[in-house]
């Protein structure tokens, strides 16, 4: 048995310690690993440092720092906790580990650069207070939302509730692609628009509604139909998540193919009469052993779920078949929920799972969606690598061969 | 006895029913029993001797394409779901410009 003091002294003999002057003066900058607690980290830290609280060190560090030969300088507030953390890293096989003597306190005292975290001003603290109270969101999560960029395909039944909740949540930039004008038959469910908006473009009407709700939100309108010609230009504006509320199969397949090639997750929703479907297609590639994004795709794509569009007689529109007004409210809100989870990185996204909702039971059912290794777009040997004629693809039904 | 859920777009061919009971130890037997009683469904669900490519069939939450296709066994009391894609509302020409 040894006391804390004895244990610390013994470890000090065994662990490399480096002064702040020496660490900061190294030409080849090491990876600074901050092992302090969250409340200490948010008060300021060494620029570029990686934050892993000591309590999570063993479980998280190997995923974040796969290279065991990378030089690492571990620091805490005063240079004691980092000695223990450095020992743990050595036990995990990290070969070039040092503890920062005097810690962050010494670093600041010597005038080395400090990155102060951004924080919310009082007005935003009040607006987002119910988010700030949730431990999984908090100030850090709210700042992520304010930095997030979500593209909505369609400002109709699904896009209305989705964009309203995303704007209210403080998602900093919302893109809206829709070429339509507000029609009287929209108002039974498209709650972004009002009787006064009749005849106005949906993009204009949506922009006015969303900015009145939350001036923190920048709305980028694209008053055009999403096509093979404009999709790359629109996606090049930089989006973290796409919320697909399109009302037709050609756009669904176009959104899918573009999202796979641009590696942007899509929150998919669709509705008909009393029933709706929600899922998340996440085509991003996981980091492989080298830390670059060339590993397996995270999830299946729309073509894995529905490889072939139905023939037109089996694909009636809401215009033809109708839809209960509140149904897009439910499904679009679920889409907003998934988009917020993706941005915040919390919970289990609906990847690989299709959620079915029946308003009459009412009830939810879940079925599995698996990535198809033979998928022509996201599979192991893709056969489609550029945009096709989606209208033609969807109008010939199932009787023509796949491209 | 197995419960088969009929999607809204196919209900007209199943006398408007939301779910029907059918017999069969495999998906093939089950769908043959179903379409024998609702012949209008046959042309929707089958393409030749196979399940039409635009209709997904789930047995206990798993797409039979990822199992043994029509030979996928069906346990007594299982729930089977027929599910074609829903766009959220395409026109019959597939050229609708609007959204939802």
CATH of the domain at A331: 3.40.50.720
Q: And the tokens for A40? A: 């200490």
Residue B13's nearest CA partner among B33, B37, B31, B29 is B37
Interface touch B92/A391, C-beta < 8 Å: no
Interface touch B61/A391, C-beta < 8 Å: no
A contact residues 191-220, partner B, Cβ 8 Å cutoff = 202
Say if A30 falls within a structural domain. yes
B contact residues 24-83, partner A, Cβ 8 Å cutoff = 44, 47, 52-56, 58, 61-63, 66, 81, 83
Residues A39 and A172 both lie in one domain: no
Residues A51 and A189 both lie in one domain: no
The 3-state DSSP composition of chain B as helix, strand, coil percent (nearest 5) reads: 30, 25, 40
Q: Is A250 on the interface with B (CB under 8 A)?
A: yes
Say if A131 falls within a structural domain. no
The residue length of chain A stands at 403
Indicate the DSSP class of residue A27: S
* Radius of gyration of the CA atoms of chain A, in A: 26
The shortest CB-CB distance from B63 to any of A156, A365, A368 is to A368
Q: Is A10 on the interface with B (CB under 8 A)?
A: no
Residue A395 is predicted with a pLDDT of 85
Say if A244 falls within a structural domain. yes
Residue B9's nearest CA partner among B56, B79, B58 is B56
Q: How far apart are CA A123 and CA A305, in angstroms?
A: 44
Residues of chain A with C-beta less than 8 angstroms from the C-beta of B18:
360
**Residue B13 Cα to chain centre, angstroms:** 11
Chain A residue closest in CA terms to B99 = A247
Residue A285 is predicted with a pLDDT of 85
Q: How far apart are CA A319 and CA A184, in angstroms?
A: 13
Interface touch A271/B85, C-beta < 8 Å: no
Residues A188 and A238 both lie in one domain: yes
Interface touch A312/B63, C-beta < 8 Å: no
The shortest CB-CB distance from A271 to any of B44, B85, B88 is to B88
ipTM of the prediction: 0.89
Indicate the DSSP class of residue A115: B
Interface touch A305/B56, C-beta < 8 Å: yes
Say if B35 falls within a structural domain. yes
Based on the structure, what is the number of domains in chain A? 2
Residue A156's nearest CA partner among A232, A265, A269 is A269
Q: How far apart are CA A314 and CA A18, in angstroms?
A: 70
Query: CA of B58, closest CA in chain A: separation in Å?
Result: 7
Query: CA of B71, closest CA in chain A: separation in Å?
Result: 19
The residues, ordered by sequence, that sit 6+ positions from A219 with a Cβ below 8 Å of its Cβ are A173, A174, A175, A176, A206, A207, A210, A211
The residues, ordered by sequence, that sit 6+ positions from A180 with a Cβ below 8 Å of its Cβ are A155, A156, A201, A202, B97, B98, B99
Work out how many CB contacts closer than 8 A connect A with B.
170
Residues A253 and A383 both lie in one domain: yes
Provide the sign of the torsion angle of the four alpha carbons A36, A38, A40, A45, taken in this order.
Answer: positive
Structural domain ending residue among the three candidates A109, A129, A164: A109
Three-class DSSP category at B63: strand
Residues of chain B with C-beta less than 8 angstroms from the C-beta of A315:
9, 84-87, 90, 92, 94
User: H/E/C letters for each residue in A247-277?
Assistant: CCHHHHHHHHHHHHHHCCCEEEEEEEECEEE
| For testing contact with chain B, the best of A176, A181, A315, A379 (most B CBs within 10 A) | A315
Based on the structure, what is the number of domains in chain B? 1
Residues of chain B with C-beta less than 8 angstroms from the C-beta of A312:
90, 92-94
Interface touch B96/A179, C-beta < 8 Å: no
Angle, CA of A265, A268 and A269, to the nearest 5°: 160
Say if B55 falls within a structural domain. yes
Q: How many helices (H) and strands (E) does chain A have?
A: 17, 13
Interface touch B96/A317, C-beta < 8 Å: yes
Say if A132 falls within a structural domain. no
Residue A136's nearest CA partner among A347, A279, A349 is A347
Question: pLDDT digit of tens for each residue in chain A (403 aa)?
Answer: 789 999 999 999 999 999 999 998 888 889 999 999 988 887 899 999 999 999 989 988 998 899 999 999 999 999 999 999 999 999 999 999 999 999 999 999 999 999 887 789 999 999 999 999 998 999 989 999 999 999 999 999 999 999 999 999 999 999 999 999 999 999 999 999 999 999 999 999 999 999 999 999 999 999 999 999 999 999 999 999 999 999 899 999 999 999 999 999 999 999 999 999 999 999 998 766 555 666 788 899 999 999 999 888 777 777 778 999 999 999 999 999 999 999 999 999 999 999 999 999 999 999 999 999 999 999 999 999 999 999 999 887 544 433 3
Domain hosting A17: range is 4-109
CATH of the domain at A40: 3.40.250.10
CATH of the domain at B28: 3.10.20.30
The shortest CB-CB distance from B91 to any of A252, A317, A368 is to A317
Domain hosting B45: range is 2-84
């Amino acid at each position: 048995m040894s006391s804390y003091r004895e244990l610390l002294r013994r470890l000090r003999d065994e662990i490399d310690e480096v002064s702040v002057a020496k660490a900061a003066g190294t030409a080849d900058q090491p990876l600074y690993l901050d092992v302090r607690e969250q409340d200490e980290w948010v008060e300021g830290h060494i620029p570029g440092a990686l934050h892993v609280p000591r309590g999570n060190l063993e479980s998280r560090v190997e995923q974040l720092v796969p290279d065991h030969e990378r030089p690492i300088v571990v620091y805490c507030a005063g240079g004691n906790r980092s000695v223990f953390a450095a020992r743990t890293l050595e036990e995990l096989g990290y070969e070039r580990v040092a503890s920062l003597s005097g810690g962050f306190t010494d670093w600041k005292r010597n005038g080395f650069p400090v990155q102060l975290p951004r924080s919310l001003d009082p007005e935003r603290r009040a607006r987002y207070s119910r988010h700030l109270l949730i431990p999984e969101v908090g100030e850090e999560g709210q700042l992520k939302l304010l930095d997030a960029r979500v593209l909505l395909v369609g400002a109709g039944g699904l896009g209305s509730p989705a964009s309203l909740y995303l704007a209210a949540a403080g998602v900093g930039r919302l893109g809206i692609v829709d070429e339509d004008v507000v029609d009287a038959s929209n108002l039974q469910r498209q709650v972004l628009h009002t009787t006064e908006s009749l005849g106005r473009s949906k993009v204009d009407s949506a922009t006015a509604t969303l900015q009145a709700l939350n001036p923190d939100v920048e709305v980028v309108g694209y008053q055009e139909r999403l096509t093979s010609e404009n999709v790359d230009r629109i996606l090049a504006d930089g989006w973290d998540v796409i919320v697909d509320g399109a009302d037709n199969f050609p756009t669904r397949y176009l959104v899918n193919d573009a999202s796979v090639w641009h590696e942007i997750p899509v929150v998919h929703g669709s509705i008909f009469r009393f029933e709706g479907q929600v899922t998340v297609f996440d085509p991003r590639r996981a980091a492989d052993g080298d830390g670059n994004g060339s590993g397996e795709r995270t999830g299946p794509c729309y073509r894995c779920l529905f490889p072939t569009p139905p023939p037109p007689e089996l694909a009636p529109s809401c215009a033809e078949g109708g839809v209960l007004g509140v149904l897009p409210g439910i499904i679009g809100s679920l889409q907003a929920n998934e988009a917020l989870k993706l941005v915040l990185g919390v919970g289990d996204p609906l990847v690989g799972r299709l959620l079915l909702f029946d308003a009459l039971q009412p009830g939810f059912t879940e079925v599995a969606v698996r990535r198809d290794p033979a998928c022509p777009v996201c599979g192991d040997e893709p056969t489609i690598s550029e945009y096709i004629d989606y209208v033609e693809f969807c109008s010939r039904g199932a009787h023509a061969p796949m491209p | 006895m197995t419960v088969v859920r009929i999607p809204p777009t196919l209900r007209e061919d199943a006398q408007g029913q939301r779910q029907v009971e059918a017999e069969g130890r495999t998906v093939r037997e089950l769908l043959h029993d179903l379409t024998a009683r609702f012949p209008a469904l046959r042309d929707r669900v089958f393409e030749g001797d196979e399940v039409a490519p635009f209709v997904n069939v789930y047995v206990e939450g798993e797409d039979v394409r990822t199992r043994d296709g029509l030979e996928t066994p069906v346990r007594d009391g299982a729930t089977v779901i027929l599910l074609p894609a829903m766009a959220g509302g395409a026109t019959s020409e597939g050229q609708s410009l609007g959204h939802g």
